[in-house]
């Protein structure tokens, strides 16, 4: 999008509207967090590669935190609600980004796991899982505090809502998966996700592009009962 404005007097009202919209968006986001905690996933067979990369890239855009990926070509497909799993990835990456104010590194490693006995991973039924490790180079915290991260409204940050990681736990549980966290002061944090894999011979591919890489022109219909959202959207679209 490109906006050409002649005169500062035209910019100031838009900035004021943007500020108001941000405040309202903050309140709405907190409400959505609470709503998402109790919502049931609408699952579909999906590749996790694009979802993981896009979710992490969205949160880290413009930051001084880098992210590396170790994702095998034959990573299994999973039965997931893509919107909810994207939210889980974003919440974990945001938590890592906030822990590394002066920059740092995140490593996301995926693998196929086949558990044959209940003792292999307590809390999960035997079966095939996609394992996702998300490791950061932040300051880390003690394990007893890290274990409380999934408690609703628990936060170690002054302005934190305490909902983000609690929602992650709820979403993963509703996917019949598991989420763990490990942390040591001075060594960062590691979140590990286990998502049930789809049975069969289908394998994950890295590309989910439209055929021939072509995109059709599109129009956007905006509907909102807030005048400032409609005005700002019409100008910048």
218, part of any domain: no
pLDDT score at 209? 42
pLDDT score at 221? 63
CATH number, domain at 71? 3.30.565.10
184, part of any domain: yes
| Each residue's pLDDT tens digit, 97-129 | 888 888 889 999 999 998 876 666 767 788 899
| Each residue's pLDDT tens digit, 3-16 | 455 556 667 777 87
39, part of any domain: no
Cβ atoms 163, 209 nearer than 8 A: no
Give the mean model confidence (pLDDT) for residues 68-72: 95
221, part of any domain: no
108, part of any domain: yes
For the chain, count helices (H), then strands (E).
Answer: 6, 7
Structure tokens that stand for 147 in this block: 């274990």
pLDDT score at 19? 80
Nearest one of 234, 112, 90 to 168, comparing CA atoms: 90
pLDDT score at 211? 43
Output the pTM of the full model: 0.65
Write down the mean pLDDT value for the chain. Answer: 75
Give the mean model confidence (pLDDT) for residues 173-195: 87
DSSP-based three-state secondary structure for 116: coil
Give the mean model confidence (pLDDT) for residues 58-73: 91
Q: What is the DSSP string of 136-148?
A: E-S----HHHHGG
Pairing of strands 104-115, 65-70: parallel
Cβ atoms 167, 37 nearer than 8 A: yes
235, part of any domain: no
- Name the domain count of the chain: 1
pLDDT score at 142? 64
35, part of any domain: no
Q: What is the dihedral sign for C-alpha 166, 80, 85, 233?
A: negative
Check pLDDT > 80 for residue 89: yes
Q: What is the DSSP string of 145-170?
A: HHGGGGSTT--SSTT--S-HHHHHHH
- Under the banding of pLDDT at 50, 70 and 90, the label for residue 165 is confident
Check pLDDT > 50 for residue 205: no
Only one residue has tokens 């007893």, namely 144
Question: Could you tell me the residue range of the domain that residue 127 belongs to?
Answer: 45-204
Structure tokens that stand for 179 in this block: 């989420």
| Residue 46 vs residues 3, 117, 196: alpha-carbon distances, Å | 36, 26, 12
Give the mean model confidence (pLDDT) for residues 139-163: 60
| Residue 1 vs residues 15, 221, 234: alpha-carbon distances, Å | 17, 16, 11
130, part of any domain: yes
């Amino acid at each position: 999008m490109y906006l050409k404005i002649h005169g500062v007097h035209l910019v100031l009202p838009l900035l004021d509207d943007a500020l108001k919209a941000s405040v309202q968006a903050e309140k709405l986001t907190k409400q959505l967090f609470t709503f998402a905690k109790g919502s049931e996933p609408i699952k579909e067979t999906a590749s996790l590669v694009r979802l993981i990369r896009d979710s992490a890239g969205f949160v880290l855009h413009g930051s001084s935190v880098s992210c590396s990926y170790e994702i095998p070509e034959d990573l299994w497909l999973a039965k997931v609600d893509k919107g909810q799993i994207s939210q889980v990835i974003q919440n974990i990456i945001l938590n890592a980004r906030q822990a590394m104010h002066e920059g740092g590194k995140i490593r996301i490693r995926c693998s196929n796991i086949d558990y044959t006995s209940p003792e292999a991973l307590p809390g999960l039924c035997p079966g095939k899982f996609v394992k996702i490790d998300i490791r950061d180079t932040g300051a880390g915290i003690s394990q007893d505090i890290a274990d409380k991260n999934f408690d609703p409204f628990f936060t170690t940050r002054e302005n934190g809502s305490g909902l983000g990681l609690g929602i992650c736990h709820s979403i993963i549980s509703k996917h019949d998966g598991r989420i763990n966290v490990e942390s040591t002061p001075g060594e960062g944090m590691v979140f590990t996700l286990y998502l049930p894999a789809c049975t069969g011979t289908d394998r994950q591919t890295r590309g989910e592009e439209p055929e021939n890489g072509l995109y059709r022109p599109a129009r956007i219909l905006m509907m909102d009962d807030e005048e400032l959202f409609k005005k700002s959207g019409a100008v910048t679209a």
